[in-house]
Structure 1
Amino acid sequence: MALSTGELLIHNPFILEEKDLAELKALGKVVGILVPNAFHGDETAWLSEKFPEAKVFVPRAIEAKARKKYRVNGSFENDWPADWRKDVECLPLEGMRLLHESVFFHKASRTLVVTDFVFNMKPEDFSKNFERTLMAWNRVGTGFGTSWLCDKVFTRDDAARKRSVEKILAWDFDRVVMNHGHVVENGGKAMMTASLST
């Protein structure tokens, strides 16, 4: 995500090929690395070494554990920089255990960025029948929406989660980028509203 300064925030750390790393560096200075939830931080150590000046932010619930594995500058809940907030809003999702996900709203592009809170995958995205069956059971292989795990296992406080959903839907986004599935280029807010209202 690009800040108005031209600096960059990297969402969901990952290992890059050297040519991709060079292209990323050419786009602008990386000032932030965002570990979006408890399940997507395994490659943070590698990426943070490539960008030693970037600040690394994690969910507060995993901060102590994360510090044993890689450099951490703070949590989304306590330390989200005010100068980033004018470009990117950060919302830690309430009412959900284990996942501890934060979602982000990039204002200039009107983009909502999520990791595991919603998926947008189709049966043809899976090459094996077993994969299609498993994903369909988890409600992530048939289109846009939240997973069964997200709704039934991770969610422990429906009222708190609803408050987070209301905050998300108050943002003026149109595009939705998620970790799993196809980017929604247009109409994302309507899709989120329909999905999260059921």
Structure 2
Amino acid sequence: MRTRSKGLMLAGSVGLAAGAWAWARNSRASDPGIRDKSTYPPLDAPKLVAEGVWVVDSGPINAMGLTLPVRMTIFRLGDGDLVLHSPTQFSPQLAEAVEKLGRVRQLVAPNVAHWTFLADWQHAYPDAKTWAVPGLRDRAQVQAAGVRIDAELSDRAPAEWAGTLDQGIVEAGAGFNEAWFLHRPTRTLVLVDLIENLEPEKLRPVARVLMRAAAATRGTTARYLRVPIRLGGAQTEEAIRAIVALEPERVIFAHGRPFDKNGAAKLRSAFAWLI
């Protein structure tokens, strides 16, 4: 009974997190001083990370009172087409900058929370194909937002990017799952929420206390996601081990400072709580 209660409580927590992200869609702080202090400027512009890989830092998003930075990753494929991973807030200026890198042909919602800006990108690029983790298209919030899901991600890269990217799915308990991507030419691993590395000095006082308590400022898995991962059992643990075995040069994630170097060692440390 106690185990079942924990599972139900966690399901509610994961749902709350996804709801908070959805609620935050139009709640980005507008004061430039707050934005710069809370995020990673320059904002809303592609920044080269490695050959064929860019990030777009944005936010902060106000998720249930917590002001957090957020990040999109862009991959350029061998034919020049672009994959936008976890798209951030759309603007014509950002779209113009992105188009200078290549053609926007693939949009990716890599977990159950990072999808709320997709509709604007779909409107701007109606021919782009939208991929999402399994089950996202069935969520009421996604359907109500009019987000189109064209195909579901799996443990095998589709033909559209198999020549450049490897991928896999971490399916956990309480309805949480997340896709990872490895850009093979540069050994760049891209996650979303499986690792968070928020910097306390960039957080407001309440968020600082809560995120520290959640271990979301330590370059590891936040405590509120550790329970659903454990609920996933041996299969989920094996999926995490597969990520660590990739031994990337660098690791990018949605919230906080990425692992710009020593990626393999930092990745092992990030998941030491589990493996």
**Which residue is 2:163 aligned to?**
86
Q: Once the 2 structures are TM-superposed, how far is the Cα of residue 79 of structure 1 from its aligned partner? A: 8.2
Is 1:108 the counterpart of 2:185? The answer is: yes
**Which residue is 2:253 aligned to?**
178
Q: Once the 2 structures are TM-superposed, how far is the Cα of residue 116 of structure 1 from its aligned partner? A: 0.6
Is 1:19 the counterpart of 2:93? The answer is: yes
CA contact (8 A) 2:164 2:185 kept: yes
Q: SS state of the match for residue 124, structure 1?
A: helix
**Which residue is 1:8 aligned to?**
82
**Which residue is 1:42 aligned to?**
116
Q: Once the 2 structures are TM-superposed, how far is the Cα of residue 173 of structure 1 from its aligned partner? A: 1.2
Aligned letter for 2:207?
A: E
Q: Once the 2 structures are TM-superposed, how far is the Cα of residue 80 of structure 1 from its aligned partner? A: 4.5
Is 1:193 the counterpart of 2:273? The answer is: no
Comparing both structures, which one devotes a greater share of its residues to strand?
A: 2
Point out the more displaced range, 143-152 or 157-166: 157-166
1:42-191 equivalences in 2 (<5 Å): 42-65=116-139, 66=142, 69-77=146-154, 80-128=157-205, 130-141=206-217, 143-153=218-228, 155-191=230-266
Q: Once the 2 structures are TM-superposed, how far is the Cα of residue 154 of structure 1 from its aligned partner? A: 5.0
Q: Once the 2 structures are TM-superposed, how far is the Cα of residue 95 of structure 1 from its aligned partner? A: 2.8
Unaligned runs of 5+ in 2: 1-74
Distance 1:30 1:155, change over 3 A: farther
* TM-score, reference length from structure 1: 0.91
CA contact (8 A) 1:94 1:163 kept: no
Aligned letter for 1:82?
A: A
* TM-score, reference length from structure 2: 0.67
Distance 1:109 1:180 in 2: 21
Point out the more displaced range, 76-85 or 109-118: 76-85
Q: Once the 2 structures are TM-superposed, how far is the Cα of residue 196 of structure 1 from its aligned partner? A: 1.0
Deviations 1:69-91 (A, max 9, x none): 22221100288522412211121
Q: Once the 2 structures are TM-superposed, how far is the Cα of residue 20 of structure 1 from its aligned partner? A: 1.3
**Which residue is 2:3 aligned to?**
none
Q: Once the 2 structures are TM-superposed, how far is the Cα of residue 171 of structure 1 from its aligned partner? A: 1.7
Distance 2:94 2:235 in 1: 39
Unaligned runs of 5+ in 1: none
Task: Give RMSD over aligned pairs.
Answer: 1.9
Q: Once the 2 structures are TM-superposed, how far is the Cα of residue 153 of structure 1 from its aligned partner? A: 4.0
Q: How many residues align?
A: 196
